[in-house]
A = this chain, B = another copy of it.
Amino acid sequence: MAKHKKSFCAEDLRARILTQDIAPGSDLDEARLAEEYGISRTPLREVLQRLAGGGFVRLEENRGAKVESMDFATMRVFFQTAPLIYCSVARQAAENRTSRQVADLKDIQHEFIGVARAGDAASAGLLNHAFHEKIGDMARNPYLLAGLRRMLIDHTRLGQTFFAPQSEADKTRVTKAIEQHDAMISAIEAQEPNLATDLTLQHWDLSRDQLEKFVRPDPLPLDVLSMKERRNAL
């Protein structure tokens, strides 16, 4: 029973960090969380250590745990590195996948489609995460997988808005993402590394466009500032 509560705690904290229910940079109070999850501080600390090992959390000597933050510098690196890691992983996934893993991936995609169509943004984000992590498993490359996992933490957190469509155009993008996942599954199942790589790159492009729009939104229309005010500002 206690074992169950501990793994629930770990899973729950992970999900809350990925969905930004707990914001980047937040302090995590041991005593409060232990109380909240009904376990003592010892196992809670072990959960935090593991989350720290996975890059979800940062531990600082004598001053507790903080959710790993996302500064501008790392976001730049994120956009720079994502294609390399995602494509390398996809290629090897197509080469090395087992049929068992393909079945798992299809299950995840099935669930993903359900919640994404229903507009459950948090679940969609987490299942999208699971989808890409599963492809990481398939690649059977612990070195790339380590990098992929770090990348997915930031990607999922940044992309929280992606699956909460506002406009019709947003809904189209979600539909497109679903179709791309299906195509990726087919390529991986058919063991076509080149195709899997291409499709992954397209999928990344879609995600990147959306993310950049969020990170670097369209500038406000200039005329909200009258000429007078602009002159005064100088």
Chain A residues with a Cβ under 8 A of chain B: 42, 45-46, 49-50, 52-55, 73-74, 77-78, 80-81, 84-85, 88, 140-144, 146-151
Contact = CB atoms under 8 A, between A and B. Distances in A.
A150 B81 CA distance: 18
A74 B143 CA distance: 9
Contacts of A77: 140-143
Contacts of A85: 143-144
A234 to B, nearest CB: 35
Main SS class of interface, A: helix
Contact of A146 (B52, B141, B147): B147
Nearest to A85: B143
List 5 tightest A-B contacts by C-beta distance, closest first.
Answer: A53-B53, A147-B147, A49-B49, A146-B146, A143-B147
Nearest to A142: B150
A141 B73 CA distance: 9
B53 A143 contact: no
Contact of A54 (B45, B53, B144): B53
A102 B119 CA distance: 50
Given A81-B143, A146-B147, A147-B143, A52 B53 contact: yes
Contacts of A54: 53
Nearest to A73: B140
Contacts of A88: 84
Contacts of A149: 146
